[in-house]
Structure 1
Amino acid sequence: MAARNPNHPQAQRAQARSGARIVLKKLITVLLSLAVLVGAYLVAFGVPLQVAQYWGIALTEEATPAARGGPGGFPGGGPRGQGRATTVVLAPLEELAYTLVLRTIGSGVSLRRADVVATEAGEVVETALHANQLVEKGDVLLRLDDRTEQFALEIALANRDQALATVTRYKGLNQNGNAVVTEVALSEAEVALRLAQANVGLAEVALENRTIVAPFSGRLGLSDVSVGDRLSIGDAIVTVDDSTSLLATFEVPERSIGLLAEGKPVLVTTPTFAGRVFEGTITAFDSRLDSLTRSATVQAEIDNSEGLLLAGMTFAIRMTEETDPLPMVPSTAITWDRAGAGIWIAENGITRRVPVTIRYRNGDQVWVETDAPIGAQIVTEGASKLRDGAQVAAADVRKGLGT
């Protein structure tokens, strides 16, 4: 059989009909796909309010909220939930103070502390340097060999007595009208007496410096000075710490500077006495922040009258402060959009969104700033499904818990 000529009119018409059928099938497939998508949208979200108005669909009083809010909070009611309210959990907006807590680490130093050093050179002839011994101000800690100073004091006293006798004799002769003693001689004798008295004072000071005493009441540290040692000026002898009160020094970050105030109480704990809390008060803090750590140094005085705490201990510092009452909502009530955070308020079964500014968080509780009135019914569960104007119904929480 001879092959058909493709240029034959009948062959060309057959090819054209075949191409048209293919195009029609593709068009039908596209239309069916669009129909499926539109149907799925209407089932899920309902008829949009603008489309309903364009088509002239009359919204009844029952259908109006559903057309505005629909199931899931989307416009329109749709065949699945037109006219039905979204079930949510409602609760009144409460106001509650938030407790700010700052935790940091510090170390303790004695309120008064001193390094006792030798102010004179000499040999040690007596010591009373017992580690951890309590001493009172003025108690003798150490004596240096003072024989030379004692002799110097004796000489000064003798010179003073001689000068005093000379002045006394001159005054007596002068009062009796003796011309041998002139006013000039009497004046020179009085000057000599004053110099002798000053030398006595210097000798007494030199003798006192040979004895080292406690500068204040406190507890002695370790010392390696013993009898027979020879000290030079500036040599360390012992440390004295007045630990009846300790200073806890710690750093406070920039974000918590507002907590600082003189006299503010702090709570102090230490691993040495687990479970026990020591109280203290802020006595001073730096006037500027450290350029590297962005923190301020703070000192707090801690009562240590029992003597349990030692200088150098590591302390865990805790400071607390309550803010003014702020609106508090569960974290599930917060929703987000392009404008930021917000909460949903239900009024007469209709919701509206109110923006909020989050201030603090603690677990599932959030403290916010908002224009919503205290006591207003807010959506605490199911807020993510809502849109403005959606109709809502309060869920029976007790029934949901099975009670």
Structure 2
Amino acid sequence: MKKLIVLILSLGVLAGAYSIAFGVPEQVAQIWGGTSAPAEEAEAPRGAAGGPPGGPPGQGRETTVVLAPLEERAYTLVLRTVGSAVSLRRSEVIATEAGEVVEAALQANRLVEKGDVLLRLDDRTEQLALESARANRDQAQATVTRYQGLHQDGSAVVTDVALSEAEVALRLAEVEVGLAEVALEDRTVVAPISGRLGLSDVTVGDRLSNGDAIVTIDDSATLLATFEVPERSIGLLAEGKPVLVTTPTYEGRVFEGTITSYDSRLDSVTRSATVRAQIDNAEGLLLSGMTFTIRMTEETAPLPVVPATAITWDRSGAGIWVAEDGRTSRVPVTVRYRDGDQVWIETDAPVGAQVVTEGASKLRDGAQVTTADAGKGSGA
């Protein structure tokens, strides 16, 4: 008897705990209450969405969303890279003769014109050699003149062979004079181009050897910038395409240039192409060797553009929801570009279609939607 009482009490405790946690079952409540609710009322909670029980979610009620027409707009492709520049025309002056420097005009940053004297080497030996060559030439000239006079008078003393030999000797003497003049000129070093001198360690009294560096000259009116472009941006390259150049030295200042050439192949390691562009530096503000930030831009053909909140993702990829006659359908898209909260896409949805820009994550195919403005109007 005691076991039966304990069993009954245990069942009562379990029933009470169940009713507290999960509520009283509907059938039990109807028995206790003595009434039976109509079938229609019993089914009403299941159809709270306004549709048949068990129907597709979202078809029985309207979801408030924000709609906007699908627009097209060009996207501006921007490539930023870093490069360095050298003078388009530059020269390193090298000694072609050995000797002691007796005169130098190598002040750094001095502007020189092509042909200006930069330094002179000791040329006393070359001057003496030139004087000797000139004397030999004069003597040979006198011999030829005498032989020609005798030959014209019909003298048998000067034969044709003797006259011919004298003329050859004169030509050789003239060549010796020319060689001596060139050797003397080589003792004077002149600027091969116009430009600005760099730093030089050569001073008067130094002795130079053949091949020694004397000074550099840069004509910086135009700079030649070299930079790398990644493989994905090769389509931006074209000869004559403008580039915008900036440098930390002149904050906020933009210099213009144009692409002059680019490599015909990609680097096998970096997968990039080397590009060269000329930069106008008529004001002389930029120096050879500077590092620059280079920017190239190009506008694409118009593409559909939507806010980032309009893009949803599922197993098939990205898509947007398009509303028509109050119902939505999902249209696949391919994302092309992003800029902030705007996304440029490729899609079969027509321009002007109403796209769900807010609330898209709550939608299902065929869901009924209403706009936020429409909801406010109905509430008034």
TM range (shorter): 0.7 to 0.9
CA pair 309-238 structure 1, distance change in 2 beyond 3 A: same
Structure 2 residue aligned with 1:56: none
The answer to whether residue 168 in structure 2 is matched with residue 207 in structure 1 is no
Of residues 144, 157, 162, the one that matches 1:167 is 144
2:107 and 2:197 in contact (8 A); partners too: yes
Code of the residue aligned with 2:328 in structure 1: it is T
Alpha-carbon distance in 1 for matches of 2:130, 2:342: 80
Code of the residue aligned with 2:138 in structure 1: it is D
Code of the residue aligned with 1:390 in structure 2: it is A
Matches within 5 A, 1:294-313: 294-313=271-290
Cα deviation for residue 331 of structure 1 reads 0.5
How big is each residue's C-alpha offset from its partner over 1:71-117, in whole Å with a ceiling of 9 and x where there is no partner? xxx2552xxxxxx3222111110000001111111112111222111
CA pair 316-222 structure 1, distance change in 2 beyond 3 A: same
The answer to whether residue 270 in structure 2 is matched with residue 256 in structure 1 is no
Of residues 172, 183, 194, the one that matches 2:171 is 194
Of residues 329, 342, 362, the one that matches 2:319 is 342
Structure 2 residue aligned with 1:266: 243
Code of the residue aligned with 2:161 in structure 1: it is V
Alpha-carbon distance in 2 for matches of 1:398, 1:126: 94
The answer to whether residue 255 in structure 2 is matched with residue 283 in structure 1 is no
Alpha-carbon distance in 2 for matches of 1:44, 1:343: 28
Alpha-carbon distance in 2 for matches of 1:227, 1:45: 101
1:265 and 1:319 in contact (8 A); partners too: yes
Alpha-carbon distance in 2 for matches of 1:45, 1:219: 84
2:58 and 2:363 in contact (8 A); partners too: no
Cα deviation for residue 364 of structure 1 reads 0.5
Structure 2 residue aligned with 1:64: none
The answer to whether residue 291 in structure 2 is matched with residue 314 in structure 1 is yes
Moved more, 318-327 or 347-356: 347-356
The answer to whether residue 218 in structure 2 is matched with residue 241 in structure 1 is yes
Structure 1 residue aligned with 2:309: 332
Question: C-alpha root-mean-square deviation of aligned residues, in Å?
Answer: 2.9
CA pair 43-113 structure 1, distance change in 2 beyond 3 A: farther
Alpha-carbon distance in 1 for matches of 2:218, 2:191: 10
Cα deviation for residue 232 of structure 1 reads 0.7
Alpha-carbon distance in 1 for matches of 2:148, 2:340: 95
CA pair 169-46 structure 1, distance change in 2 beyond 3 A: farther
The answer to whether residue 328 in structure 2 is matched with residue 351 in structure 1 is yes
Structure 2 residue aligned with 1:382: 359
SS at match of 2:174: helix
| Unmatched 5+ stretches in structure 2 | 27-42
SS at match of 2:366: coil
SS at match of 1:166: helix
Cα deviation for residue 399 of structure 1 reads 5.9
| Unmatched 5+ stretches in structure 1 | 4-10, 52-66, 69-73, 78-83
Code of the residue aligned with 1:250 in structure 2: it is F
Code of the residue aligned with 1:166 in structure 2: it is T
CA pair 172-398 structure 1, distance change in 2 beyond 3 A: farther
Structure 2 residue aligned with 1:323: 300
2:59 and 2:366 in contact (8 A); partners too: no
CA pair 148-48 structure 1, distance change in 2 beyond 3 A: farther
Matches within 5 A, 1:1-400: 42=46, 74=57, 76-77=59-60, 84-396=61-373
Counting matched residue pairs gives 350
Alpha-carbon distance in 2 for matches of 1:165, 1:48: 131
1:352 and 1:389 in contact (8 A); partners too: yes
2:59 and 2:368 in contact (8 A); partners too: no
Cα deviation for residue 398 of structure 1 reads 11
2:88 and 2:220 in contact (8 A); partners too: yes
SS at match of 2:227: strand
CA pair 156-45 structure 1, distance change in 2 beyond 3 A: farther
Cα deviation for residue 190 of structure 1 reads 1.7
Percent identity over the alignment is 76
1:46 and 1:75 in contact (8 A); partners too: no
